[in-house]
């Protein structure tokens, strides 16, 4: 499993001509970029699930979770802790674990959350 890096996501965004009006409204460019990454990865993950591309699903999920955590941390720096973002994070984990319990790797989640990935 490898987290999809920013350069690769930017390539995907350009290739898909992906637009994200919600992310574009955010004044902080880094916060907006992280949100756009989460959204594009979410779309790709949904597509992979529909196409039953099991090999891609985990990589997309862990990448989306990683970038969501980057968003959450940046948000906390700018505006303080937000319990709603914590709930979204928990929901992401819960939803994935319910659908793909055999694919959930809590060690990767721990590494993402403690910043070692």
Tally Cβ neighbours within 10 Å of residue 68. 21
Half-sphere exposure of 100 toward its Cβ, with a 13 Å CA cutoff? 19
Whether the predicted pLDDT of 43 surpasses 90: yes
**Of 33-37, 38-42, 100-104, 109-113, the least confident:** 100-104
pTM of the model: 0.94
pLDDT, one tens digit per residue, over 3-37 is 999 999 999 999 999 999 999 999 999 999 999 99
pLDDT, one tens digit per residue, over 47-89 is 999 998 877 899 999 999 999 999 999 999 999 999 999 999 9
Give the per-residue pLDDT at 54. Answer: 78
**Chain centroid to CA 93:** 11
């Amino acid at each position: 499993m490898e987290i999809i890096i920013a350069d690769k996501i930017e390539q995907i965004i350009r290739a898909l001509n992906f637009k994200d009006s919600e992310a574009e409204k955010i004044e902080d460019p880094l916060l907006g970029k992280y949100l756009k990454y989460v959204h594009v990865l979410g779309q790709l993950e949904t597509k992979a699930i529909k196409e039953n591309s099991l090999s891609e699903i985990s990589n997309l999920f862990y990448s989306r979770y990683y970038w969501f955590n980057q968003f959450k941390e940046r948000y906390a720096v700018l505006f303080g802790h937000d319990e709603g973002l914590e709930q979204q994070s928990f929901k992401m984990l819960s939803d994935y674990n319910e659908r793909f319990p055999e694919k959930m790797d809590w060690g990767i989640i721990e590494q993402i959350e403690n910043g070692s990935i």
